[in-house]
Amino acid sequence: MSTPPRDPRSIHVEAPAMQEPSEPVDGIHVEVPGRARRWPWVLLALAFLIGLPLGVIGVSSWSAWRGVERVELAGVLQGSPTGNNYLVVGTDSREGVDPNLPNLGSFSGERTDTIAVMRVEGDTVSLLAIPRDLYLPLSTGTTNRINAAFAFGGPAALVATVQTQLGIGIDHYFEVDLAGFLGLVDALGGVTIDFPHPAFDEKSGLAIETAGPIELNGPE
């Protein structure tokens, strides 16, 4: 007797109202054959990806969603009975980012820093975060950390690995890289982060001398 697919459920949030898009943001890649009404849920997933409070995901963020780059995964996506399972990925690719930005670093290649499965059910979104260092058999035929699937086999290998290891079908794939991250934050007009203590980091250039709410833009 086969085991029924497991439900990815961990975080539940309500969907915000959205308006039509106006300006594109580079660095966002998507495989979404479904209808446009699904896009608000992807915005919520991005809030999770970049650690934003859900309250900042509103009308202004919807202006970022036009002209995203498509990824062909028709032969890999197994699909689900409801058609509402998304694999949401955040990568550290620096393609398209101004090389003169301070503390950008000189990393080569592309790694998945964030991996999550999102399910849309009515007015509720469920998110299951997958640790990037989770060690398991990959669709590439090796056993390694799950983010190695993307590094060695791209989106297709990552989708296949998630489907096999979680026992669920994925319907849609959504990826945002560093350029998309910066663009999304700027499209929101910056974000406010509450620092409970002063914070300093030599590598990133972070220098928060006073505890409390600080507004940051994309590059910051």
- Predicted confidence at residue 104, as pLDDT, reads 55
Does residue 84 contact residue 125 with C-beta atoms inside 8 Å?
A: no
Give residue-wise pLDDT tens across range 4-23.
Answer: 444 444 333 333 343 333 34
Give residue-wise pLDDT tens across range 182-195.
Answer: 667 777 777 788 88
Fold classified for 11-190? Nucleotidyltransferase; domain 5 (3.30.420)
Q: How far apart are CA 168 and CA 128, in angstroms?
A: 12
Q: How far apart are CA 130 and CA 147, in angstroms?
A: 10
Torsion of CA 147, 149, 150, 156, to 10 degrees: -140
Residues present in the chain in total: 220
Judge if pTM exceeds 0.85. Answer: no
- Predicted confidence at residue 139, as pLDDT, reads 92
Supply angle C-alpha 36, 185, 162, rounded to 5: 60
- Predicted confidence at residue 79, as pLDDT, reads 87
- Predicted confidence at residue 94, as pLDDT, reads 57
- Predicted confidence at residue 138, as pLDDT, reads 93
Q: How far apart are CA 33 and CA 103, in angstroms?
A: 37
Does residue 30 contact residue 69 with C-beta atoms inside 8 Å?
A: yes
- Predicted confidence at residue 191, as pLDDT, reads 79
Q: How far apart are CA 16 and CA 214, in angstroms?
A: 24
Where along the chain do its domains lie?
11-190
Residues of the chain with pLDDT under 70: 1-69, 92-110, 178-183, 203-204, 217-220
Q: How far apart are CA 82 and CA 132, in angstroms?
A: 27
